[in-house]
Structure 1
Amino acid sequence: MTATEAVDAARARDAGAYRPAVERLATVDRAGLVLGGVVRLLLEEGHPDGLDGDDVRQVLERCVRAAATWWPEVDPHVLLVLLAGALGVYDPGDDDDPPDPAAVARHAPLLVADLLAVTDRPFADYLSAAFAEVARTELHD
């Protein structure tokens, strides 16, 4: 699976494997939606009492610092948009320069890999839950 390959490459900090994986991920419909769901689930699990601004800043800083050591193309703005989107507080219509799907595909696995580092559950569990959530949402729309 493309998302799994991208997240695995991010977790391994393998830029050679990451680039083609995120390029494939960018061609998958709903990739950003599903990985956004994974991010939301990870944030909820990692912060059961909710997140405040300091928590968001810590997640963002930790992810940028970790990714920059092996993926210098990391863009903090895109990661912040992904975090805000996962939390339901981002409206692309309010953004003068929203990230394109390719930028989302290049950054979502970085955020997922960073958040997975603090959990003991496998990525597949979160991915399955996110797919189920997307399916439920589409069924009710």
Structure 2
Amino acid sequence: MHRSRLFGVLIDSPAADADAAVAFWAAALGGPTRSSAEEPEYTRIHAGPPDLALVVQSVDDSPRYHLDIETDDVAAESARLIGLGAELVTDHGGHKILRAPGGHLICVVPVQSAEDLFAADSLAWPSA
């Protein structure tokens, strides 16, 4: 058995537009922002539900939105979603990028939330 939960909504913005995207979304949603030197491509906006991450991600690609699903077993959760109709796009080892039916991207990532939040808010799934 493994567990997973929706961790966040990511607003993917081309690198050249990322600062403007952060400023826009922070002002539009009324939340302060936080980024880190370790992962400068991610800027979190503190607005909306406290248990859902809202992040602007600087990308070398087209603008879009994607979801992050966090899990205590990346391989098992990826297999579950693929069984539901998703397709593997990229396997980065520690996380996987999938494409859901309809074309939307999903990143399956290790647990990012605080342990108590993940334990309280995640769903259990039988592993194959």
TM-score between the two structures when normalised by the length of structure 2:
0.28
Higher strand share: 2
TM-score between the two structures when normalised by the length of structure 1:
0.27
Q: Which has the larger radius of gyration?
A: 2
Higher helix share: 1
Relative contact order, higher structure (CA 8 A, sep 6+): 1
